[in-house]
Structure 1
C-alpha cells in the first residue's frame, strides 16, 4: 500500500480541476521557482538535437543551466532543424524539466515560421514547414476559411514538434505606410483585420483552449501601427507612438475582436505613447495601459508577456543593444522590472533576471501576492494545454505531419490566390501570357523553363519578368538591416534599372509588398504590374501563364508620393492624398 507521503502530489492528478492543481503546485513552489515562471527566454537547438551549450550569438547560458539553476520553464525557440530532430530536442528539453524538483514542464513558443520573411527579431522563413504568404497575403485573399485552414495546419505542424505558444498574430493596423512591421499584419483596414484575426486565433487555439491547442499571443497592445515617421520601436529613434488624428481608440478594435475570439495571451509593444492621456513610458511599463485599459476596461485576464529585452541591455551578433525601456532609460534594471510588475506584466521575454524578482520581493517592494497572481496565470495555461499530463511528442509523427503533401499544396494555393494584379496592359492585356515566349527573367529559378524559353540577352526576348522587392532604406546595424524601413520610393539607380528593361521589351514587374510602395513611374512603362506578399517563383509563373487564378486585392492603399505619406496622419487609415491604388484594388484575369 502506498503511504500518504509516497503518493503523487495533487497537482499531478488529472482527475482534479485545473484550479485545484494550480493551487496545490503554487503552494509547493519557492520564490525562486515562481520567479523562473516569469521569464520567457530564447533557446537554441543544439547540434543533432542535443540541448545547447552556451550561445555566443544570443549570449545565452547552457540550456540545462537555464532550466536547473534559473528555474525557467518557458522558452522561445530560435533557429530550426528537421522535424524529427526538432521533436527529439523538444523531448530532451521536457526530460530535463521533469528531472527538476517539481517537474514543471516546458512551454515552447515560436515567432511565425510559415512564410518568406527572415528577420530573427520577428519571424523565420518556413524551412521544413509548409510555406504560405505573409499575413498580408491572407488578408489579400480576404477569406476567413483560408485563414482558419492556415492556422489549423500551422497548429498541427507546431504540435508535432512540441511548440505550444504562437508569438502571433500581429494585429496592428498598418496606418503608417513606412512602418517596417507591416508584413506581419493584416493590413490597413480594421474590419478586414478583425475578421482575419478571429479565424486565425480559432484555428490555432481551436474553439476552446486545450491539449490540442497552440495558445496565441496577440500583439502589440494597444496597437503598434502609428509609429512616428514609420520607425520601429525596437530602436531608440523609433520609440515614439503618435496619434495626430486623435485615433487611439481605433487601434484597440482588433484587440477587442481577439478577446472575443479567446486569445490566451497578449504582448504590449515597446513604443511609448506621445500626446495622449497615458504616461509617456513604454507600454510594457504603463500601468494605465496594462492594468487600467487591458485588465480593467477590456476585462482581459490572460497572460501579459512583455516584448523581448525590456529590462536589460542585450547582445545580438556581437552588437550591444540598450534595453527597450523607453521613457525609463535612466532607471536601473531593478527599477524597470518593478515598474513593469506594478503595471501588470506577468512575464518578460528574451531575458532571465530571476534574481531581480527575488530581490524585489525580499525587500518588500513587491508583495508575494503580486508574484502569485502572475504565477497562477502561467501555471494555469500549462495545465490547460495538457503539458503536465502528456508533454512529449513522437519524432516519427513529426516527420509525417510537418510539410505533409496536403499542407504544402494548401500553402502553395494560398500563395497563388494572394497575388494581386495591379495593371494588365489596359486595352491590350498581356495576362495570362499566351504560348511559349522567349523570356528574360533574371534571378528566377529553373522552373521558368517549364513555361518559356529562357534567354540571357534582353535583345533576344519577347517578354521580360522582373521580380523586385518594395523599396526601403538600408540601415547600418546588423540587426537593423532586417527591418525594411524608410522611404517607399525606389532609388534613382533602382528605378532606372527597372525602366531600362521595360523600355526595351514588354515587361511584367512583380513587386514583393512587405509594406506599401510608391511606384507611379512604373505603371506607364511596364506591360503589367503584379504584387505578391510572399510567393515562390513557381507560384508567380503559374499565375502569369494562366495555370492558377489570382484573387488578391490590396490590403492597404499604395500612396502616390512620399510627400503624401509625410503629410498623412500616422494613426488614421487611408489618409494619404490621392493614392495610386486604393485598398481593395485587384484585377481579375482568366486562366488559360
Structure 2
C-alpha cells in the first residue's frame, strides 16, 4: 500500500512538471475509478464513435459499435439522438462493462437543435450578445431533451476569406466581436451548472486558425506569424476557454508545419500551460488518421504523436484504440499520459452528473415539452429578423405596405429546403416557414403572386455537388426560358417585385469553398430582366457568406441580406419587409468588390506606401490598377429604415494612466421617420507602437433603441487593459502613446478625437 501511495505521489509530480496536471483539485471519485482501470479500459475512454444511421457529419461510420461499448472500448458516441436510443447504448456501457462507466453523447448543434436559428454568421450580425446567448441556451435545452450532453460548438474561427465555406459557421473577421460571441455561446450552452440536465458541455472549435486556410479552400494549410495568431486569430478561442468551455476540438489544418491534432505547442504549451485549460481535447472527424496524408507517419506514429501532444479523445478514427497499447509496450507513449487523458474524459462525465445518474439526460417526457415549442420558434423569429442587414435602399419602397400587390419571384421564394442553412443536421427543413407563407401570414390583405423565375443554378454538375444532403438546388423540368417568362408575367401584374435569390444552403459550409462568390448567373439574368419591367424591386438575398454583388449594388433596387434565416425564415423576412421590425443588423465580415481583393478585412496594417487619401490611383502606392482598395461593403455596415446622426464624440480626459480609465462618448440621434435600433461602434488606432498597428480596431459596441427624434449619449469605458496587445516577444502589454478614436455606425469614418496613454 505504501508503495502504491508513493507511486501516486510521484505520478502527480510528473504530471505537474510535464504540464499535464490541472490546477483544479483532482476528483476523488475519478481517481478511485482510475485506480481500478486497466490500460485497455483507459484507452477505451479515449475512443469516440458514431454508429451511423443518424446525422451525417463525416464520410466514415464506425463498425461494431455495440460490441465495442460492451467491451469497454468506447468513451462516447455522437450521431445518435432520442432518449430511447441513447438509453440502450448507455445501458450497454453501465450494465455490460466491468466498471459501468457511462458514455458521453455528442452532437453538432451549431445554430439550434430542432428549433433552427440563423446561421452563426447571421446571428453575429445582430450584435446582440444577450440574444445569441439565449439561442444557445434554447439549443442546449432542446438537445439535452433528446439525450445529448456534449455539443461540438461554438465555432469561433476568425475568417477573412469568404471563399471559405465555413465562414458561415462563425462570427466573421474581428477578434473583439468574435470573443464576445464566443463567451455568449459558451454561457448559453453550459449555463451555471453542468449537472442541470438542460445544459451541455461546449466544445470550442476548431483549434486553431482553421479560418485562415490558404486560398479559402477547406482543410488547407495555414501559415502565419505568432504575432498575427495571438493578436488577430487566437482571442476568441481564449475568450471561450476563459468563459469555462469544457472541451476543445482540434482543427484539420497544420500550424508551423505540424497538424493541429498532433501539435504539442498548440495543445499543451499554449492551451494548457499558458492558458490554463482544464477540460479535454477531442480531434475533429478522423483528423488523427488524416495526419498520415499530411506526411506525419503511419497510424501508430500519428496516434502516438497526437497523445503526446495533448489530444485526449480520438473522433471515429480509432487510432488510439488500435495502436496505443502497442505504443506503450514499445515505449513510444507512457501509460501515465494515457491515464491523464482518461482522467480528463472521466472528469467531464463527472461534471455532467453522469456518475451519479447515467440516465440524467434521458427523460422521455422532455422531447415533447422542450423541443420546437412555440416560445422557441418565437425566439428564432426574433433572432432572424435581428440578423438581417439592409445593404441598399432605393427610394421609399421599404417598408412595404401590407395591402400591396406583390410579385414574389425567385428560386428561394417558396423553398423550404434552403431556409435552415448549412450545418443544421438536427433540424427539419420541412418544418420551416418559406418566404411565400411568411408574407401571407404577416400581410393577409396583400395580393401576392408567386413564380420561381429561375433555377438556383443551371449547372447540373454544380447542382449535383450542392445536393449531397438532399434537394437544395433542383433544376426544374421547365426550361430556363419558360421559368423566366412566368416570372415576367407575374412581375407585370404586380406593383412591387420581391425577388428572393442567392445561395442554396450547401453552397456554403464544410467542403463548400467557392472561387466565384457572385450570385449564380441563372439568377443574375432573372434580376436584370425584372428590372426591365420598370417596377420597384426589392432583392431578398440569401447566402452563407459575403458575396460579390458589385453589379447588383449599382442597380436601382433595394437589397436585404437575410443569410439563411432558420426555421422561422418566412415570418422573419415578412416582419422586416412590412416594417413590423426595422432592420438593425450590421455586417461582421467585409464584402469585397471582387475575389481579387481577398483576403479583405477592415483592421488591415498600413504600408510604407499607403493608398492615397483621395482614393485615386498613384504609381508606386499600394493600390490596384483595376479597382479601388476599398471594399464594396465594410465591416460594421448596415442601413435602417430610419437615419441616425452621430455628434459630440469626445473623451472624458485627454490622458489615461495605467490604473485609471476614461470614458469615450457620443450622442446618437434618430433623425428619420421610424423607431429603430442602431449598433454604436467604437474604434481606436494606436498611432505608434513597437509592432505595426492596424489602421483601426473595434474596441466597443452597444446596440440601442431610439424612438423617432430621440437622442441618447452612448458611453464606452476604456482602460489600459483594452489597449493591450502581444508584442514581438508575445508578451501581453500596453505601451504609452497617442490613440485616435471615432464612434460611428460602421468601420468607415474619420477619426474625431485623441487621448494619450501615460507611463
Q: Pairwise mapping of residues 287-366 of structure 1 onto structure 2 (< 5 A)?
A: 287-312=264-289, 323-325=290-292, 327-328=294-295, 331-353=297-319, 354-366=321-333
Q: Which residue of 2 aligns with 1:252?
A: 234
Aligned residues: 524
C-alpha contact 2:182 2:237 (8 A) present in aligned 1: no
Report the CA distance between 1:512 and its aligned residue. Answer: 1.9
Residues in 1 aligned to 2:74 and 2:602: alpha-carbon distance in whole angstroms: 39
Q: Which residue of 2 aligns with 1:581?
A: 633
Q: Pairwise mapping of residues 470-549 of structure 1 onto structure 2 (< 5 A)?
A: 470=503, 483-504=512-533, 505-535=535-565, 536-549=569-582
C-alpha contact 1:418 1:532 (8 A) present in aligned 2: yes
Pair 571,143 (structure 1): closer, same or farther in 2 beyond 3 Å:
closer
* 1:436 is the counterpart of 2:488: no
Pair 57,263 (structure 1): closer, same or farther in 2 beyond 3 Å:
closer
Counterpart pick for 2:164 among 171, 174, 179: 179
C-alpha contact 2:195 2:353 (8 A) present in aligned 1: yes
Q: Which residue of 2 aligns with 1:50?
A: none
1:347-389 Cα shifts (integer Å, max 9, x gaps): 1112224121121112222111010010111101101110112
Q: Pairwise mapping of residues 109-508 of structure 1 onto structure 2 (< 5 A)?
A: 109-112=106-109, 114=111, 126=113, 129-212=114-197, 213-233=199-219, 238=220, 240-243=221-224, 247-249=228-230, 250-273=232-255, 278=256, 280-312=257-289, 323-325=290-292, 327-328=294-295, 331-353=297-319, 354-392=321-359, 393-425=362-394, 427-433=395-401, 435-443=403-411, 444-445=413-414, 446-447=436-437, 448-449=439-440, 450=444, 451-456=446-451, 457=489, 458-470=491-503, 483-504=512-533, 505-508=535-538
Higher normalized strand content (fraction of residues): 2
Pair 61,133 (structure 1): closer, same or farther in 2 beyond 3 Å:
same
1:14-56 Cα shifts (integer Å, max 9, x gaps): xxx9711111111111211111111222233579xxxxxxx99
Report the CA distance between 1:573 and its aligned residue. Answer: 9.2
Report the CA distance between 1:453 and its aligned residue. Answer: 2.4
Name the TM-score, length of structure 1 as normaliser.
0.82
* 1:88 is the counterpart of 2:79: no
C-alpha contact 1:244 1:570 (8 A) present in aligned 2: no
C-alpha contact 2:292 2:299 (8 A) present in aligned 1: no
344-353 vs 452-461, which moves further: 452-461
C-alpha contact 1:270 1:326 (8 A) present in aligned 2: no
Residues in 1 aligned to 2:510 and 2:90: alpha-carbon distance in whole angstroms: 35
Report the CA distance between 1:170 and its aligned residue. Answer: 0.5
Name the TM-score, length of structure 2 as normaliser.
0.65
1:184-233 Cα shifts (integer Å, max 9, x gaps): 10111211111111111111111344344311110112322211111111
1:87-118 Cα shifts (integer Å, max 9, x gaps): 21111121111122111111101112545xxx
Higher RCO (CA < 8 A, seq sep 6+): 1
Report the CA distance between 1:327 and its aligned residue. Answer: 3.4
1:503-547 Cα shifts (integer Å, max 9, x gaps): 323222122231111101002225210111322123212211123
Pair 396,390 (structure 1): closer, same or farther in 2 beyond 3 Å:
same
Pair 376,184 (structure 1): closer, same or farther in 2 beyond 3 Å:
same
Pair 429,243 (structure 1): closer, same or farther in 2 beyond 3 Å:
farther
Structure 1: gaps spanning 5 or more residues: 1-16, 48-54, 81-85, 116-125, 313-322
User: Larger Cα Rg: Structure 1 or Structure 2?
Assistant: 2
Residues in 2 aligned to 1:168 and 1:46: alpha-carbon distance in whole angstroms: 19
Counterpart pick for 1:29 among 33, 37, 44: 37
What RMSD in Å do the two structures reach over aligned CA positions? 3.0
Report the CA distance between 1:561 and its aligned residue. Answer: 1.5
